[in-house]
Structure 1
Amino acid sequence: MGRPPVRRHRPSPNDGVPPDDNPTEILELDEPYDDLYDEEIEGDYRDDEDYDDYDDYEDYDDYDDRGSGSQDRASDEARDGVRDDRDDRDGLSLLDDSDEREDSEYVDEEDEEEPDTQREGRVRRLLKWAAVLAVLVGLSAAAFFGARELLGFGYEDYEGPGEDDVILHVEEGDVTSVIAAKLAELDVVASPEAFVKAGEDDERVLGIQPGYYQLKTKMSGEAAVRALVAEDARVGHLQIRAGTKLFDVIQPDESVTPGVFTLLEQASCARLNGEDTCVSAEELRKTADSVDLTELGVPEWAAEHAQDAPKGRKLEGLIAPGVYDIRPGGDAEEVLSQVLTASATRLEAAGLPDAAEQTPYTPYEILVIASIVELEGVEADFPNVSSVIYNRVEDGMRLQMDSTVNYPSKRPLLTTTEQDRLKVTPWNTYAMAGLPQTPIGAPSPQAIEAALNPADNEYRYFVKCEKDGRSCFNEEYEDHQADQKDARARGVY
């Protein structure tokens, strides 16, 4: 059973202050209500003779303050008669001056217009009442929010570390308030305020990155903040580096460089409520071989060529380098669809397929060239390596790239043996003319750019000649052999 949320309230400025030190301000009105009422009656109902007398006063408001006591008995009796007569009439409003003058036999038509001084006095009184009303509204609002703080009906919050596992998706552009709302919707916290208040003093909350995070339901705001900024909170996250192949590679020092399928398997793994969500690399490979690639998100310009690739290699080069976030708990198709759909957008941003129209190659062949460029040289040499590929293919020469010979090998080396170069595979450019059948790794945007725009030169040979990875390029084979000999002598390879 879940624990009921508790109510939190913010400290009030009046907490701990004795009652006598918090006096309630008393507002006093300038004019008593009864006086205002009498002035309204006495100022509006008078006979013609009395009205003329009132005009003799220079300040009409002064008369209102003195009242009727300054008049003689005859004037008082006349006004009393008018008031008694008015009280006998049903439906007459005290506030409707127009109707009163129209119905009264004591008011002349020439006197129907209200004097300016009387109208100004009424406006001033209305303004006073409006000011009083505004003050009362302000005091009522202050009393409400003060009571809210003192009585504790601020925001709800759970207690404890939580119960069931749940996945939160933080998207690009989500600010703290949006994250808090998502947490409340997932029942991770009892209210958005619980998370916002708990994270006010933790700057790490502002650094939460887009992705998937494993949390629990019914966590306190503080527990949710701690869990969300923890290093192991993010799940489904992977990074594919440029040149990464689909399968694992064992390096000369026996270390293993994970392939794309292994990276996807690791990213898919999470333990939700006691159950593992891992999708194996083998299951991912079989799915890629059996499902229509376009249904997985592969662009049509690439799918028509990749569909004919050898088993296990159909997706080579189609998952672009970069950071990906996949939601744990999905099957193999869902995992592949998430990364392939995102990758298609990245390939398009790199210029494919449109920019390939300016070259002699299809967009898929540009991807093949870019993958060789990526594995044969450092970024500074990319345009020259691309130029060598263009020039050799144009001249009908075999590419003779060691990277293509090494591609299907689990233990590739910088150099290859004669026996390796004699093996016939869909990728061995020593044993075959033209380009390999598929890419041989994941090319970076820089490598794709070089494949689309090779350097303008006549180079046909190159060899790694510097320990920083730089190569020496030549037009003639004799010069190429000389650079090879020099590089070996200096221990470059």
Structure 2
Amino acid sequence: MTDDLGLFADEPGEHRRRRPDPERFRRRKRRRWVTALAGLFVLLLVGGGVGYGAMQIMQIGSYDDYEGGGEGTAVIEVKSGETVSEIGSTMSEKDVVASTRAFISAAAENKQINSIQPGYYMMRKQMSGQAAVERILSADAKVGRVEIRGGMRLEDQLAPNDKKTPGILTMLAEGTCSKDKSNCTSPERMKEVAATADLASLGVPDWAIEGASQAEPDRRLEGLIMPGIYDVKPGAKAEDVLREVISRSVAQMEATGLQQAAESSEHSAYEMLIIGSIVQSEGIEKDFGKVARVIENRLQPPQMRLGMDSTINYPLEKPALLTDPEDRERPGPYNTYLNYGLPPTPISTVSKAALQAVEQPPEGEWKYFVKCRKDGTSCFGKTKAEHDAFVDQAKQNGAW
């Protein structure tokens, strides 16, 4: 038998079967054990990772949690769009709860958790997850929420019954207070900063700085804060509060197309804001467009005085729906019964609807208007005779 492959060759020229090598067999056997052990180790690692991941997904296992209702105070901010997990993480970082899981687990049992609104909440430190959930859902926890409405002014005013109506600056100052009224920025400090701080540092845009800087100090921010709900951080400094509120307001104003509208009109953006404040103060929303057109028509040659009671009322501590002849005869920059043109500053907050009415007023020849119905609706006339007839109608309707 031949061995063409040389499988059995022992010496050159000789052919016989090779004897088994015991040492080689032992080396191969050891390699099998090493390979088997390595594979087992890998399986254990993979299995352990899968098990750990499953525990995380299924929330199996223990987690840290405090006991009781906690102590002291801690302010947390809930931002728009945050999940329960993100809120829990914020609480954990502030030591409100011992762990994010403590809050998540407690929140899973309360369907109201999805009703949490963005803003600031006064919590306690080292609360149990359950206590933290109950606290943040309570009315006492929400702090720093300030609602500013259209037509409001910076300064406080007296109502006809002599009750003081807080102005925007007072409301923002009160928003910095905790529930126990501690760590507040005073209204006096808020007004001082509004009157003296660098306008650009407060977020006033370039297009408004010239007009605002020429105003009386306590009126220079008038109209630059839009209606809306603002969340003020308790303990925040006046500068920070005003910068945040004004910056947000200016962004909303510019989003209406204010600057673009000013470029294609005879007015600057700041003048359009002034007109918008008069529109806001003189009419209800459905009449904003026509009021804006009346103002525009009166400003055109041959120019007429605006004759707006809202501008007469603006500097008064105690405004009234119908101004007194004495007030209308008193000289001053806001007296549009005596002066031609616009007043030097806005006279109130300006809503988006009022701004849009100024940017695109409807066509019309109206030069007069009067509130002729009790719901605030105005009647618009082209001539003085039409206006006088609408005034008589307003008296008959009990709206005058």
Same-fold status (TM-score > 0.5): yes
Tell me which residue corresponds to 2:206.
300
Q: How far did 1:363 drift?
A: 0.4
- Distance in 1 separating the partners of 2:389 and 2:53: 90
Counterpart position of 1:324: 230
Q: 2:349: which partner in 1?
A: 442
Q: Structure 1 residue aligned with 2:102, among 169, 194, 208?
A: 194
For residue 194 of structure 2, what is the aligned residue in structure 1? 288
Quote the Cα distance in structure 2 between the aligned partners of 1:376 and 1:402. 8
State the SS of the aligned residue for 2:21.
Answer: helix
Cα pair distance change 1:145/1:175, threshold 3 Å = closer
Q: Which runs of structure 1 show a deviation greater than 6 angstroms over 4 or more consecutive aligned residues?
A: 133-137, 139-146
Q: What is the aligned partner in structure 2 of residue 457 from structure 1?
A: 364
Q: Give the alignment's TM-score, normalised by structure 1.
A: 0.71
Matched with 2:393 is: 486
Q: Separation in 2 of the partners of 1:454 and 1:89?
A: 99
Q: Which residue of the other structure, out of 21, 28, 31, is the alignment partner of 1:93?
A: 28
SS at match of 2:192: helix
- Rate the CA distance shift 1:190–1:292 in 2: closer, same or farther, 3 A: same
Residues 491 and 89 of structure 1, relative CA distance in 2, 3 Å threshold? closer
Across the aligned residues of Structure 1 and Structure 2, the Cα RMSD in angstroms comes to: 3.0
Judged with a 3 Å threshold, the aligned counterparts in structure 2 of structure 1 residues 277 and 352 are, in CA distance, closer, same or farther, namely farther
Counterpart check, 1:380 vs 2:286: yes
How many angstroms apart in 2 are the aligned matches of 1:240 and 1:143?
51
Contact 1:168/1:183, CA 8 A, preserved across alignment: yes
Gaps of 5+ in 2: 1-6, 9-15
Give the C-alpha shift of residue 96 in structure 1.
8.9
Which amino acid in 1 is paired with 2:104? V
Residue 276 of structure 2 corresponds to which residue in structure 1?
A: 370
Distance 1:437 1:469 in 2: 27
1:187 alignment partner, SS class: coil
Q: How does 1:95-134 map to 2 (within 5 A)?
A: none
**Residue aligned with 2:226, SS:** coil
Is the contact made by 1:211 and 1:325 (CA closer than 8 Å) also made in structure 2? Answer: yes
Pair member with larger Rg: 1
Maintained 8 Å contact 2:223/2:349: yes
Distance in 1, matches of 2:45 and 2:52, equals 10
Post-superposition shift, 1:94?
A: 4.6
> Hey, what's the Cα distance between the residues in 2 that align with 1:398 and 1:418?
16
Residue pairs, 1:406-485, within 5 angstroms: 406-485=313-392
Partners of 1:271 and 1:277 within 8 A in 2: no
TM-score, reference length from structure 2: 0.87
Partner letter of residue 270 of structure 1?
A: S
Provide, for residues 294-325 of structure 1, a one-character-per-residue CA deviation record: whole Å limited to 9, x for no partner.
11111111122101111211110001111111
State the identity %. Answer: 41
Against the structure 1 CA distance between its residues 144 and 260, is the aligned structure 2 distance closer, same or farther, given a 3 Å change threshold? closer
Aligned residue pairs, count = 379
Match of 1:53?
none
How far residue 92 of structure 1 moved from its aligned partner, in angstroms, is 4.8
Give the distance between the partners of 1:311 and 1:144, measured in 2 at CA.
62
Q: For each residue in 1:242-265, what CA deviation from the matched residue of structure 2 results, as whole angstroms up to 9, or x when unmatched?
A: 111111222224444321011111
Three-state SS of the structure 1 residue aligned to 2:136 is: helix
CA distance in 2, matches of 1:94, 1:268: 78
Whole-angstrom CA distance in 2 between matches of 1:167 and 1:212: 7
Q: Measure how far apart 1:168 and its partner are.
A: 0.4
2:63 aligned to which of 155, 160, 169: 155
SS in 1 for 2:344: coil
Alpha-carbon distance in 2 for matches of 1:427, 1:327: 35
Deviation digits for residues 134-188 of structure 1 (CA, Å, limit 9, x no counterpart): 7997699769989xx9xx9510001111122111011111111111111111111
The residue correspondences of 1:188-337 to structure 2 (distance < 5 A) are 188-270=96-178, 276-337=182-243
